[in-house]
């Protein structure tokens, strides 16, 4: 069986988390980082979730899950400590066609969650198709050590350059060559040393922006 990896835009989409413990709270925090509209239903809520509620960052319902909690939900993450409840939430989601993740229960999941190594807008998501979350975690830690802040900086620079070039309508074959030349250059070494000026200069030269500036 092969899972299909995607990156969802969750902005303002209602994401329901069922359960109010530590695991639910971890899932809620990641959803908030993605600007989802987070709704939580739990019989009791962790201190962290209560704080998020007071800050108005999530909408909470204290009590038992009922099917009406699913109204309007784009996706559901179920993190209760009661297998019968998890099973019911899964069945209700299936009836309504809402994708669900039941934590630690791949048989009841429409999607599973990856381990994520992040550096700014760079995300490396790791899955083992459920075979070994411990290995996914180890790989995430290795990647975090290997890909430092210089990658975030380079990505931001490339993003800016790419916006400028697309706006100017450069032919895409030319863009492909320019970006490849930059990415495979020694620019990361400049950034690793903190030499931003040398990195800027490299981009200007490889993108031919020096020439453009000198054009009449």
Ligand X SMILES: NC(=O)C1=CN([C@@H]2O[C@H](COP(=O)(O)OP(=O)(O)OC[C@H]3O[C@@H](n4cnc5c(N)ncnc54)[C@H](O)[C@@H]3O)[C@@H](O)[C@H]2O)C=CC1
Q: Which residues would be at the binding site for ligand SHN (CB under 6 A)?
A: 101, 103-104, 106, 109, 112-115, 127-130, 132-134, 136-137, 140
User: Parallel, antiparallel, or unpaired for β 37-42 and 14-18?
Assistant: parallel
Residue closer to ligand X, measured from CB, 110 or 201: 110
Residue 133 interacting entry, from ligand SHN, ligand X, none, C-beta within 5 to 8 Å by type: ligand SHN
How far, in Å, CA of 102 to CA of 88, rounded? 11
Binding site for ligand X (CB under 6 A): 18-24, 41-44, 64-65, 79-82, 85, 103-104
- Minimum distance from CB of 41 to ligand SHN (Å)? 19
- Minimum distance from CB of 98 to ligand SHN (Å)? 16
Q: Which residues pair with 116 in a beta bridge?
A: 125
How far, in Å, CA of 186 to CA of 55, rounded? 45
CB 190 within 8 A of CB 198: yes
How far, in Å, CA of 8 to CA of 20, rounded? 24
- Minimum distance from CB of 72 to ligand X (Å)? 18
Q: What residue is closest to ligand X based on CB?
A: 21
């Amino acid at each position: 069986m092969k899972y299909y990896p995607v990156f969802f835009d969750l902005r303002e989409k209602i994401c329901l988390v069922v359960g109010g413990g530590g695991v639910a709270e971890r899932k809620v925090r990641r959803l908030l980082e993605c600007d989802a509209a987070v709704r939580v239903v739990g019989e009791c809520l962790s201190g962290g979730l209560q704080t998020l509620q007071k800050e108005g960052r999530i909408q909470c319902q204290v009590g038992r899950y009922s099917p009406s909690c699913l109204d309007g939900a784009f996706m559901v993450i179920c993190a209760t400590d009661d297998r019968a409840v998890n099973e019911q939430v899964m069945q209700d989601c299936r009836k309504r066609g809402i994708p669900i993740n039941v934590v630690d229960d791949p048989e009841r999941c429409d999607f599973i969650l990856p381990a994520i190594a992040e550096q700014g807008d760079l995300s490396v998501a790791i899955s083992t198709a459920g075979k070994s979350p411990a290995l996914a975690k180890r790989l995430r830690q290795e990647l975090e050590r290997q890909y430092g802040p210089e990658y975030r900086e380079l990505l931001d620079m490339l993003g800016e350059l790419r916006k400028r070039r697309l706006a100017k309508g450069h032919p895409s074959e030319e863009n492909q060559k320019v970006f490849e030349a930059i990415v495979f250059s020694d620019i990361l070494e400049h950034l690793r040393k903190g030499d931003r000026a040398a990195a800027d200069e490299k981009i200007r030269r490889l993108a031919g922006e020096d020439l453009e500036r000198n054009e009449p």
